Structure 1
Amino acid sequence: MADSLAVFQNAFYIGNNFNAILYGVELVLYFMTIRVILSRKRKHAPTDKYFLLFSTVLLLLNTVFVATEAVFGEEMWIVNANYPGGMDAYLGDFASVWYQTFGTASSIVLNLCSDGLLIYRCYVVWNDLRVIAFPVLMYFASFSLGIAQLVDSGRPNSNYFAGLAQKLGIAYTSTIISLEIIVTALICARIYWMGRRYGQAMGNEVGRAYTSAAAIIVESMLLSTLTGIAYLITFARSDEVEIFFLSIYVMSTCIAPQLVVLRVVAGRAWTREKTSMIQSKLEFTDGSRTQIGGGQTTTNEKSHHDLVTTRSRSSSNDIEEVGAV
């Protein structure tokens, strides 16, 4: 057996084991989300049904991917252990078997669902359609490339990691990862900037609620973006461990959006209303500072400071609703 295929086979085996572990994490997050949605103590929102359906679709797509990878490994290493030419020959002959193509399709749709939510969350944080115009164009481009890669990799005797399928895969993955990097950077920058400004206006302790590491990592789906970069590098270089990073990346495209959904239904994520509320508070505070600096009398300056201080204290109750992590 060639050394390159030996490394690939080991990476495939380890990737399947990580799939099983991370699938357990996804199940826990999914049922936590269901419990929050069905809780009687919680005020139900109109979007609950959407997020319930979205979470279920994520889980089903992820289940298809994990199952097909596990079945192919079983067929290659156990059921057909005596296949002429060994496991490497089996891999070459059956890499495009129908259920593997089905698993590839599920991973592409899962990725598109994840990035669709990521773009939507970017719009929520920025509250401006102009910000997501370019990411939406990239999203449709990645959709087209993903379909092209799926069609070519599903042809008889084709291979996801070789030939035209690989070239299309590199183009698709580069587009989708570039999209994730751009949108993740936009979300991280926005949260950090608004948190800093709000902290300057209302106090550093208040601002830290918006700039915590957990809030930024979860809201921006940073986990998915980082694992995607690792996968893209190994895939483009045709490294033997590419299959391992593919498994981790696909699983993260399910876990990362599920974390966002869990925060949303729990009332701890950013919403358009909360973004507008923070913007309004910042505008109010900036306007107050302008009036104070414009030469008001000492009495007016003191009363205005008292008003800002009162609003600052009352905003402490809003912190738990707006961005607490």
Structure 2
Amino acid sequence: MALNVSDPASWAPNLTPDQFWNERSYLAGILIGAVAYGVHATLFFLTLTLLWARPRTHWKDYIWITYTAIVFIVSSLGNGGQFKFTQMIWIDNREYPGGPGAYFAEQSTAFESTLCNAAYIVNGWLQDALILYRFYIIFGGSVMTVLGPVLVFLGEMGVSIALLIALTTEGKTIRNEVAAQLFTSYFAISISLNVLLTLAIVAKLLFVRRRIKHHLQDSSSTYVSVSAMLIESASLYAVCGILFLVPWRLKSPVQSLVLPTLGQAESIAPLLIILRVAQGQAWSADTESRLATSTIKFSSSQHMDTIALSSANGSKGASTTRFHRGTGASEYEEDGVKVEEEIIKKHDV
């Protein structure tokens, strides 16, 4: 159909409905991913400010700052490469035979596209490494517990390196059979690992919550609240990963809506954890023992004595608890906790 300024129907390219949907979903996904990058950037500067304001007395303080900066820089490179490749698709090479969809499918080995893929794969390593570390900490620093996930993580790295080699080899694009299989394998391993670790961490925190539910207070809920479970387990990446992997396997254009956001989610999820570290709210090696230790206090009111049960934040292991009720004193052992009972005269006001 000849172009006619007065005929809007002639302005549309000669594409099938599926081609339209593919190109629209790709562009919409880039825009949604840009919003996710804005969230990432905001969290980065907020987290960096809090980390920098903390007293830096341990080498881990500098590790958190370095890790946060590396994740943001790598993510920014990937985002920039994606924006540039999008510009090449729709502006610089708009007359490419077959249109933007063909350019995207056939030229994904371009440097800008490769930079984007490499950056997001590296950030995937960093994200998975952090969730493995958190898994190790939350499960009491047990090497045997983390051994299996570490082996899976190493396998994931091997597959992703093979994928990068395939994507940078002439004639191998993301639509190529070999590259597509590696791409599927990489995300399947990464997302499965994250889902399993997410479920394990949530189960652990639920177990701790159940143990201390009878004396759960605000200070304790910081570690075992629903939001804490979702953040500590990096569930954001696991959810986004599932939302991407299913359409990818079904060869649905919906995958293009999710993939750019997934690339940012793998950076946002670790930052949310580090933000809790910067705020002093993250789970540490002795958190479980501190939550399991409680202090009971009595305060006198007009009609009765009031018992207040709270977590002893500075203690480890069993605590000594005192009861004041009348005159005299007694001492006994209960559940491994030494308890002294001093009886004082009750006031009748």
Q: Secondary structure at the match of 2:86?
A: helix
Give the whole-Å Cα distance in 2 for the aligned partners of 1:309 and 1:30: 51
Deviations 1:205-259 (A, max 9, x none): 6654433111011110111100001111111222122122211211100001011
Matched residue, 2:148: 134
Matches within 5 A, 1:44-193: 44-46=56-58, 47-127=60-140, 128-193=142-207
Matched residue, 1:14: 28
More helix by share: 1
Matched residue, 1:284: 318
Give the whole-Å Cα distance in 2 for the aligned partners of 1:132 and 1:194: 19
Matched residue, 2:285: 272
Matched residues, number: 297
Stretch moving more, 13-22 or 217-226 = 13-22
Give the whole-Å Cα distance in 2 for the aligned partners of 1:106 and 1:307: 57
Q: Secondary structure at the match of 2:156?
A: helix
Matched residue, 1:33: 47
- AA of the residue aligned to 1:112: W
Deviations 1:75-106 (A, max 9, x none): 11112222233222322331211221121111
Distance change (3 Å), C-alpha of 1:133 and 1:97: same
TM-superposed deviation, 1:48: 1.6
Stretches of structure 1 lacking an aligned partner (at least 5 in a row): 289-297, 311-325
Give the whole-Å Cα distance in 2 for the aligned partners of 1:194 and 1:96: 49
Give the whole-Å Cα distance in 2 for the aligned partners of 1:203 and 1:85: 63
TM-superposed deviation, 1:114: 0.1
More strand by share: 2
Q: Secondary structure at the match of 1:284?
A: coil
Give the whole-Å Cα distance in 1 for the aligned partners of 2:317 and 2:48: 38
1:248 matches 2:225: no
- Residue identity over aligned pairs, in percent, reads 23
8 Å contact kept, 1:198–1:206 = no
Distance change (3 Å), C-alpha of 1:138 and 1:126: same
- AA of the residue aligned to 2:28: I
8 Å contact kept, 1:122–1:183 = yes
TM-superposed deviation, 1:73: 1.1
Matched residue, 1:223: 236
Distance change (3 Å), C-alpha of 1:248 and 1:308: farther
- AA of the residue aligned to 2:47: T
- AA of the residue aligned to 1:95: S
Structure 1 residue ranges, 4+ long, deviating more than 6 angstroms after superposition? 280-283, 302-306
Q: Secondary structure at the match of 2:286?
A: helix
Which among 43, 47, 52 is matched to residue 55 of structure 2? Answer: 43
Stretches of structure 2 lacking an aligned partner (at least 5 in a row): 1-14, 295-315, 322-328, 343-349
Give the whole-Å Cα distance in 2 for the aligned partners of 1:19 and 1:144: 27
Matched residue, 1:318: none
Matched residue, 1:314: none
Give the whole-Å Cα distance in 2 for the aligned partners of 1:155 and 1:7: 29
TM-superposed deviation, 1:155: 1.9
TM-superposed deviation, 1:123: 0.8
Distance change (3 Å), C-alpha of 1:34 and 1:203: closer
RMSD: 2.8
Instruction: Name the TM-score, length of structure 1 as normaliser.
Output: 0.83
- AA of the residue aligned to 1:152: A
Deviations 1:289-320 (A, max 9, x none): xxxxxxxxx9445999994999xxxxxxxxxx
Higher relative contact order (CA 8 A, sep 6+): 1
Larger radius of gyration between Structure 1 and Structure 2 = 2
8 Å contact kept, 2:331–2:340 = no
- AA of the residue aligned to 2:241: G
